[in-house]
A and B are shown apart, each in its own frame.
Chain A
Amino acid sequence: MDRAVVIGGGLHGLSTALHLARMGWTVTVLERRHVGRHSSGINAGGVRRLGRDVREIALSQIAYEMWHDIVGLVGDDCAFIPSGQVKVAESAADMDKLAAREAEVRALGWTHEELIGREEVRRLLPAIAPHVIGALICRGDGAANPMRTVMAFRRAALEAGAELVEGVAVNAIRRTPSGLAVDTDRGSYEATRVANCAGAWAVHIAHQVGDAITCGVKASMMMVTERLPRFVEPTVGATARPLSFKQTESGTVVIGGGRQGRCDVETETAVVDFRNLAGGARTVTDLFPSVRDVRIVRTWCGIEAKTPDEIPVIGESPSCPGLIHAFGYSGHGFQLAPAAGAAVAELMARGATNLPVAAFAPERLITRVAA
């Protein structure tokens, strides 16, 4: 029987479950806490191709197409607004860097990243500080509401027939005569295929089956302000310092960019480091002087997996056939989720996929230890 278990009720696990269920598989999603508990529900919601690692661009382009029909996929618009992603240049050196990047992407045959000058930046971002001299832009990119997206994928997966079990922790994966068994603190689940979408905790599962994948964690800090009248449409990043700045549909401004908080994977806790976050606030007040007196109402950071080369692990386990790893998105997995879930579902159902995920095979991160 076509029976699958997906470990992890984050966005990638739910997307995998949704695609698998629509292929007619019987799918159970096992989530240790609740859906979207860690990074999935609380990330910056960037639907971004801009600035991606060149190995990710092909998959990101497919995801981009899927985002533009996200209602068709999950029955909800996920508050996705394709208002563009812009990376601004604050100096001549920044501008040179952006120009080189644009040329690199174009040389690979892609045209989605576009270099713009001072006037066009002013037109797109009237509130930007005067020292900004240009930018790289991806006009079809944008942002969605991460929690709403998670909930939409949850609902769609359930409607497609997937089963969701929350509050169940996976202890081990075993091979059985008929396939695989996933042992949890509340009994075992039999399956012919298992997906490891456990985010920051996925590497433990990989190690448990014998895949010595090297993978760390990250905890990017975020903050959100009170609601403001609309003053910025695209999502804004900077070139020489970390920033992601966007105004949500509710009027709040969500600020991230990758400054790191402190996290503890064992206790599943991540705390903000305010001395470091102060640098992020400084970037924001430098680039958008009008927000100086705006109140921050909440800060947080979510824990997720970060691979040494900062591209994900997607592919079958070398040690445990039938187990497909899908984790390590390193802070930029949100946009990829619709396409990556489809790829993982195909790897599970057919053992192969035409989607461009070959560069993400787990073998690259497995260090062979001499016996």
Chain B
Amino acid sequence: MTDLAIIGAGPAGLSAAIEARRHGLDVLLLDENAAPGGRIWQAIERRTAKDKDDTAAQATVAEFRACGARATFGATVWCIEPDGSVFWSAGGKAEVARAKQVLVATGATERPLPVPGWTLPGVMTAGAAQILLKTSGLVPQGRVWLAGQGPLLLLYAVQALAAGGRLAGVIDLGAAGAQRRALSHLGGALRAPDYLRRGLMWRRKVAKGGVPWIRGRDLRAEGDGRLARIRFTDVHGERTEAADMLLLHDGVMPSVQITRALGCAHRWNTAQRSWAPQTDAWGRTSVANVVVAGDGGGIGGAQAAAISGRIAALGIAATLGRIDDAARDAAASGLWREQAKHLAVRPFLDALFAPLVPAPADDAIVCRCEEITAGRVREAVSLGCLGANQLKAFTRAGMGPCQGRMCSATVCEVIADARGVAVETVEPYRLRFPTKPLTLGELASLHDG
């Protein structure tokens, strides 16, 4: 049996592997990408470092490569059982291994921004566009609009411009007054001044690139079978603009598929308007031997994620008796301080980019797989539907291939709004393994092995 299985090779997973190896743990790391780095450091080994963050990331990946952890890339983990069995598929075959401790470091997922027409070809998320940019150097062509809010939207604009791309404009859908509310958290943010400096630099670069920055609302994507134009309202009134591509973004939320399916207790984060697994200081969840690190436990960014990975690994090393509690605490104390500095900026960012409360128009599709509109959800509520799981019975929403990964947040918001209750009181979809699609042949292969 392996000491520690780590799911995810982003900053948290890699740092945890390195720390765990320092204490002699036998580590198995699984990641569905072809190489280490996760989303934020995607393809970092193949890219040229552009700044000190890239250089530090490359150093971490190199240290991981040398640390002696067993790593399987191209491995899609689809189930974890409470006894520590981790199931994954790679190359068309399913495998299973048992670990004494499991670290879930699966990061964040983009919050859906369900404007009418968002399912049209030509509309995608800024995060997906960023992956194409990082892995394949793909720069979008034609009239490209960005819409929504959040650091990643801004960062993508900067990266696309740097790669020679052109942008028609950025439509800032952020709530009025968010900047004023954020200012009250400026004191904390100044403890980690790098974030502010970088944000302001990004804004300047976008402005210098001649990209219009428009405060807007009521955005719609339109076209016959593919995106042709966008419509929105700005200070002057309603506008229609030709568009070949629309990239949407409204921040990220913890990816809770695995912890939900495992039955870990979750808590509601009001500022980040999302669920996260409930953990102790070492990332331990309510389910024995299941630990969480990184953005999957609450959005803190790459630096905080890397530190939380190390803290989690120390906790695990102590749980397995490889170090005593005193050694664990001594090693962690500097990490806590460092982490607190990175997290100090969060209240500011959470206020500045307070998630848009989705109030999709009746004709906006919320469940993409089954093509269920917000109007159908509201109708189900009027017929007595109280939560997301019941909604499946009323509409099939959440029953498609994505298992509600895409629509859970939106569906709960629409139900809460229609019922006139707080969104955290609406039961989200019960998620079940496999949390990633698995073929019948892959599952059958487990029977032979």
Contacts and interface: CB of A to CB of B under 8 A. Distances in A.
Interface in B385-422: 386-387, 389-390, 392-394, 396, 399-401, 403
Contacts, number: 89
Interface of chain B, main secondary structure: mixed
B432 A298 contact: yes
A281 B437 contact: no
B386 A297 contact: no
A226 B403 CA distance: 11
B439 interface: yes
B399 A298 contact: yes
Interface residues of A, number: 35
Given A34-B386, A292-B440, A147 B447 contact: no
A297 B440 contact: no
A299 B434 contact: yes
B393 A274 contact: no
Contact of B390 (A34, A271, A278, A285): A34
Contacts of A34: 386-387, 389-390
Contact of B437 (A37, A250, A292, A297): A297
Contact of A272 (B384, B390, B433, B446): B433
Given A269-B263, A274-B81, A284-B444, A226 B390 contact: no
A275 B96 contact: yes
Interface string B72-83: 000000010100
Contact of B432 (A250, A292, A300): A300
Contact of A296 (B392, B434, B447): B434
Nearest to B441: A292
A35 B443 CA distance: 32
A296 B438 contact: yes
B126 interface: no
B444 A278 contact: yes
A131 interface: no
A52 B212 CA distance: 70
B446 A274 contact: yes
Interface string A280-319: 0110110000011111111110000000000000000000
B64 interface: no
A214 interface: no
Contact of B443 (A147, A250, A278): A278
Nearest to A224: B399
Interface in A249-279: 250, 269, 271-275, 277-279
Interface of A: 34-37, 41, 147, 150-151, 166, 225-226, 250, 269, 271-275, 277-279, 281-282, 284-285, 291-300
Interface of B: 79, 81, 85, 87, 94, 96, 263, 384, 386-387, 389-390, 392-394, 396, 399-401, 403, 432-434, 437-441, 443-448
Report, nearest first, the 3 A-B pairs whose CB atoms are least far apart.
A292-B441, A281-B443, A278-B446
25 contacts: A34-B386, A35-B390, A35-B393, A36-B393, A41-B393, A150-B393, A226-B401, A250-B396, A269-B263, A271-B81, A272-B432, A274-B434, A274-B443, A278-B447, A281-B440, A281-B441, A281-B447, A284-B440, A285-B440, A285-B441, A292-B444, A293-B440, A295-B439, A297-B400, A299-B433
